[in-house]
Structure 1
């Protein structure tokens, strides 16, 4: 399993709208993508305009090729993109260890 981590910064006055938009975008668009395995969204406490979106994929290609190369990616960006202060920083991770 692959973890996609997107570090997102949004316009301060638009946080409440973004809270709804990001959930809607994941549930209505990304959740239907090939290889999607689940997600988490965390919102900053010290930096309330900062969000960490964690999406779990079966393979790296499910995100980088299947989803990003599909029309669904443009649909996703249309929902959340207007709120971004800058393009999100996105990286991928594999699990090294975890607690039980």
Structure 2
């Protein structure tokens, strides 16, 4: 399994609208993507315009190729993109260890 970690910064004062938009985008768009396994979203306490989005994929290619090159990506960006203060920083990780 691959973890996609996106560090998202939104425009000030848009938190309530973005909270709704990201949850809607995840449940109606991302959830339909090939290889999608689940997600977590955390919002900043000290930095309320900062969000950390974690999406779990079967493979790296499920995100970087199958999703990014599909119409679903455009749908996703149409929902969340207008809130971005800057392009999200996105990286991918493999699990090394975890607690029970």
Same fold (TM over 0.5): yes
User: 2:14 aligns to what?
Assistant: 14
Q: What is the rounded CA distance, in whole Å, between the counterparts of 2:27 and 2:67 in structure 1? A: 14
Q: What is the rounded CA distance, in whole Å, between the counterparts of 1:27 and 1:37 in structure 2? A: 12
Q: How far is 1:92 from its partner?
A: 0.2
Note the residue ranges of structure 2 that are not aligned, 5 or more in a row.
none
Q: What is the rounded CA distance, in whole Å, between the counterparts of 2:61 and 2:91 in structure 1? A: 13
User: 1:28 aligns to what?
Assistant: 28
Q: What is the rounded CA distance, in whole Å, between the counterparts of 2:77 and 2:84 in structure 1? A: 10
Note the residue ranges of structure 1 that are not aligned, 5 or more in a row.
none
Listed as ranges, the matches of 1:44-63 within 5 Å are: 44-63=44-63
SS in 1 for 2:99: coil
CA RMSD across the alignment = 0.4
Q: How far is 1:12 from its partner?
A: 1.4
| Over 2 Å off, 4+ runs | none
Q: What is the rounded CA distance, in whole Å, between the counterparts of 1:97 and 1:82 in structure 2? A: 36
Q: How far is 1:28 from its partner?
A: 0.3
